Copies of this chain bind each other. A is one copy, B any other.
Amino acid sequence: MAFVYEYARPSVTVDCVIFGLDDDGLKILLIQRDGDPYAGSWALPGGFVEMDESLDQAAQRELQEETGVSEVFLEQLYTFGAVGRDPRTRVITVAYYALVNLKDHKIEAATDARAAAWFALDDLPALAFDHDQILQMAQERLQGKVRYQPIGFELLPEKFSLRQLQRMYETVLGRSLDKRNFRKKALGLGVLEDLNEVERDVSHRAARLYRFDRAKYEQLVKNGFHFEL
């Protein structure tokens, strides 16, 4: 492995853009940096990739260490490698993104972060490094992807009503959808399992609850079905 030391080579980090949904809309998870550079600034959770872990594993580990959030479905977003993006030295970062149901994931700041917190997308602090660029690309990817793949189900609780599903789509897409057309289409996809249950303790007519049937979804995809919502 001598060549590793022959020249200075770029280092590799991972950074995670974690989207969460609650009644106020979309949020993202940030940490407050403890060490230099950008000490005190808010940043995406992330850190250096170790020799004995894959990129995916590194992203999961850093997310867990810095925020306490674990077991999320992280998807690779893009790799950022501009020369000056870290003021200290050359750092290439592989960015990941994920969607989580905000209520399922309690956060706890840890180790190399002062704090971890959810921020509304329209009320963000200044971010360290080029993390604003990374976030922007993540939002674009999310909007593009949610239209033809049912990734958005990660944002919802296990059991959800069609209204919750519609609001999630409206929030992510940033526009309103027609109720009847949405329901027709969502049910027509054949990946929602009707639980024969209704909401409880709501002061209006209770909605039926559904579950996302991932097995049926994967079967349809295998047969070449093309999703779109």
Q: How many copies does the complex hold?
A: 2
Q: Name A92's contact: one of B52, B55, B90 (CB within 8 Å).
A: B55
1/0 per position for A8-24, CB-CB distance to B under 8 A? Answer: 11111000000000000
Contact A94 B79 (CB under 8 A): yes
Contact A49 B1 (CB under 8 A): no
A58 to B10, CA, bound (A): 12
Q: With A8-B51, A10-B49 in contact, do A79 and B82 touch (Cβ < 8 Å)?
A: no
A156 to B9, CA, bound (A): 38
Query: What range describes how many residues of A lie at the interface?
Result: 20 to 34
Q: Interface on chain A toward B: helix, strand, loop, or mixed SS?
A: loop
Q: Name A51's contact: one of B49, B52, B58, B90 (CB within 8 Å).
A: B90
- Nearest chain B CB to A72's CB is how many angstroms away? 18
Contact A49 B12 (CB under 8 A): no
Contact A94 B76 (CB under 8 A): no
Contact A83 B52 (CB under 8 A): yes
- Nearest chain B CB to A54's CB is how many angstroms away? 5
Identify which of A11, A52, A58 gathers the most chain B CB atoms within 10 Å of its CB.
A11
Q: Which chain B residues lie closer than 8 Å to A50 at the CB level?
A: 7
A37 at the interface (CB under 8 A from B): no
Within 8 A of B (CB), among A39-71: 48-56, 58
Q: With A54-B83, A83-B52 in contact, do A89 and B9 touch (Cβ < 8 Å)?
A: no
A25 at the interface (CB under 8 A from B): no
Contact B1 A51 (CB under 8 A): no
